[in-house]
Amino acid sequence: MRFNLRPTVALVALLSLAACATAGTDTASVEGPEPFASTYTPRPSVPTLIRNATVFDGNGAELANADVFMRDGRIVSMGQNLSADGATIIDGTGKFVTPGIIDAHSHLGVYPSPAIDATADGNELTQPNTAEVWAEHSVWPQDPGFLRAVAGGITTLHILPGSGNLFGGRGVTLRPVLGATTVQEMKFPGAPQSLKMACGENPARVYGSRNQSPATGMGNVAGYRQAFANAARYARRMEAAENGHGDPPDRDLEMETLAGVINGDIILQWHCYRADEMANA
C-alpha cells in the first residue's frame, strides 16, 4: 500500500524528525560488517532564523507569526521574537514552515525524473521473485528529481523497486544529498532495509501477459506462500548449521532476503490496492 506524501508548503524547515535506529540485515557473517555501508555526513550549515511565519510543529499545533531558529541542521527553538546573533535571517511573512517531509515510498533514483528508458532501473521484470536485488544498486545519485525533492522540503526518502514482481527486492533509505556521486553518500546511517512486495493486478498483469504464473490473484498468493515456505526451510538449515548440526546450505541471495524478513531484520513494504488483498497479505 502506498502512502504518497506531497509537499504543499511554500517554505519548509529542512530537518529530520526521526532517526532509523533499527539493526541492519543479518549478512555480516558472510559479507562482513555493513555491506555497502553508509558514508553519509551532514553538509555544513549556518545558523538560520525564520521570522514571522505560520509554523506547523508536527504535533498538531499551528503557531501564527512565529520564529524558528535552526543550528547544525536541527531546530533549536520556536516562538516569537527570538534572537540569534549572527544568524542568517529569512523573512517568513505569509509563508508556512513545517518539519522536514519523509517520503516513505519513492522511486527517485531508480526511476529518475525527467524519465528516459536508459535510466529506468526500478523493475527487474525477469521472474516473479527477485528478492535478491537491492534498489540501492540501481539508484542514480545525479537524478534531477532529488533537487526538486529538496526544494519541496523532503529530507528523507525510502527508495523502493517497482511493483511488477511479487517480490521486487530490497529498499533503501536515503538523504537527498545534492552533488553525491555514490549512493553510499546518501544512505541514512543505521536505517533498516525493506523488502518491496506487490499484490493485485501488477504482477498478475506482467506475468499473465507472458502466459506465466502468476496470472491471477490466487497465483499471487500461492507465489508468496511458496517463497516464504522455502525461506523458512533455508533459515532453519542456517540456524542448525550455526548450532553445529550439519552443513549450511549454499548461499542464496533470494532466500537470504526472505529469511531476513522472517527473522525481523528486514521490514516489509507491501503494495496492495484493495482491502481483500490486504487481508490476504
State the pLDDT confidence band at 23, using cuts at 50, 70 and 90: very low
State the pLDDT confidence band at 2, using cuts at 50, 70 and 90: very low
Cα torsion through 200, 202, 204, 210, rounded to 10 = 180
State the pLDDT confidence band at 281, using cuts at 50, 70 and 90: confident
- In the predicted model, is pLDDT for residue 218 greater than 90? yes
C-alpha cell at 219: 497465483
Q: What's the mean pLDDT when you consider all of the chain?
A: 89
d(CA 209, CA 55): 50
Give all domains of the chain, ordered by start, each with its CATH number: 40-99 (2.30.40.10), 100-281 (3.20.20.140)
State the pLDDT confidence band at 31, using cuts at 50, 70 and 90: low
Q: For the ranges 70-74, 125-129, 229-233, which has the lowest average pLDDT?
A: 70-74
- In the predicted model, is pLDDT for residue 117 greater than 70? yes
User: Grid coordinates 529542512 are at which residue?
Assistant: 14
- In the predicted model, is pLDDT for residue 35 greater than 90? no
Phi and psi, residue 185, nearest 5°: -65, -20
- In the predicted model, is pLDDT for residue 140 greater than 80? yes
What is the predicted pLDDT for the residue at 189? Answer: 96
Task: Please report, as a single letter, which amino acid is at residue 223.
Answer: G
- In the predicted model, is pLDDT for residue 194 greater than 80? yes
Percent of the chain surpassing pLDDT 70: 88
pLDDT tens, position by position, 158-173: 999 999 999 999 999 9
What is the predicted pLDDT for the residue at 67? Answer: 97
What is the predicted pLDDT for the residue at 274? Answer: 94
State the pLDDT confidence band at 33, using cuts at 50, 70 and 90: low
How many CB atoms lie under 10 A from the CB of residue 86?
A: 7
State the pLDDT confidence band at 280, using cuts at 50, 70 and 90: confident
Write the secondary structure of the chain as one string of H (helix), E (strand) and C (coil).
Answer: CCCCCCCCCCCCCCCCCCCCCCCCCCCHHHHCCCCCCCCCCCCCCCCEEEEEEEEECCCCCEEEEEEEEEECCEEEEEECCCCCCCCEEEECCCCEECCCEEEEEECCCCCCCCCCHHHCCCCCCCCCECCCCEHHHCCCCCCCHHHHHHHCCEEEEEECCCCCCCEEEEEEEECCCCCCCCHHHCECCCCCCEEEEECCHHHHHHHHCCCCCCCCHHHHHHHHHHHHHHHHHHHHHHHHHHCCCCCCCCCCHHHHHHHHHHCCCCEEEEECCCHHHHHHC
d(CA 267, CA 252): 19
